[in-house]
Amino acid sequence: MPRSVSRVRGRRKSRARARPVWRGLSAIVGLLVASTVVPIAALRVVPPPTTAFMLASQARDPATGEPCTRVDYRWRPRAEIHRNLPRAVVVAEDQRFLEHAGFDTRAIGAALDEYVAGGGMRGASTITQQVAKNLFLWPGRSLLRKGLEAWLTIFLELLWPKQRILEVYVNVAQFGPCLFGAEAAGLRYFGVHASGLSERQAALLAAVLPAPGRMRPGDPGPFTRQRAQEIVAELRRVGDGSYLAGL
């Protein structure tokens, strides 16, 4: 048999053996994409009934240390949440929220530079990344969780408008032990509905987002008060311009 014919047959056999592998990989990727797209597409229009963080061990009663017997979570549409809160959250957590596609490369670079210079590793998560984590993932840090968070963030940005991402965030963010969302936090700490949050109250809520288990908006310590004052000052400096335009 001529060598050229033999080589052709060998290549055909190799391709034939590879087809089932590629089909299997394609099926796995398709299943992964579908299992991501379906819940995210549904939650674009349906309020989340609960979140992974509400179900996680982080939601504990501070008096007993036991898992919460009742999580206080009350969904409110964006129209029933005073604009003070979404604006304060963007000031405090993600000032490039309207500009980026889910990942703030400048914040990531600054965090890495600080770490290399000998500082601690601070977070650089965007609001979209925090929504992905709160809705679907678990507390803690690991490469697996960060990888899944990045995957989910891509689809949230593709399938949801920015206003929906922000609406979900202020509804599912943790503001205290067993306490999630603007409505529950406003009633617990200030005796007002989310629609009635003042600028200072919104700033206090935004100030505790990095450590809701330790910081209390209703009885703020010096650090929380100072952080809230900084947020209020920035809100007034920016007004309706710059990165808060349209919020």
Q: What is the pLDDT of residue 141?
A: 82
CA distance linking residue 247 with residue 244, whole number of Å: 6
Nearest to 101 by CA among 140, 153, 142: 153
Q: What is the pLDDT of residue 5?
A: 47
pTM: 0.85
The CATH code for residues 44-60+72-244 is 1.10.3810.10
Q: What is the pLDDT of residue 32?
A: 78
Q: Give me the amino acid identity at 93.
A: E
Q: What is the pLDDT of residue 9?
A: 53
Name the region of 173 (left: φ>0; alpha: ψ -120 to 50; beta: rest): beta
CA distance linking residue 198 with residue 80, whole number of Å: 14
Q: Does 35 have pLDDT greater than 90? A: no
When the pLDDT of each residue in the chain is averaged and rounded to a whole number, the result is: 87
pLDDT digits (tens, 9 = 90+) for 104-149: 988 777 767 665 666 655 567 999 999 999 999 988 788 899 999 9
| N-to-C CA span, the chain | 75
pLDDT digits (tens, 9 = 90+) for 49-69: 999 999 885 566 655 667 777
Q: Does 76 have pLDDT greater than 60? A: yes
User: Higher pLDDT residue, 58 or 19?
Assistant: 19
As a whole-number percent, the residues of the chain with pLDDT over 90 amount to 62
Q: Does 34 have pLDDT greater than 90? A: no
User: Higher pLDDT residue, 152 or 143?
Assistant: 152
Q: Where are the domains of the chain?
A: 1-43, 44-60+72-244
Q: What is the pLDDT of residue 245?
A: 86
Q: What is the pLDDT of residue 247?
A: 87
b/e map 13-42, b = 16+ CB within 10 Å? eeeeeeeeeeeeeeeeeeeeeeebeebbee
Are 243 and 98 within 8 A, CB to CB?
yes
pLDDT digits (tens, 9 = 90+) for 190-232: 999 999 999 999 999 999 999 998 899 999 999 999 999 999 9
Q: What is the pLDDT of residue 57?
A: 59
User: Higher pLDDT residue, 214 or 90?
Assistant: 90
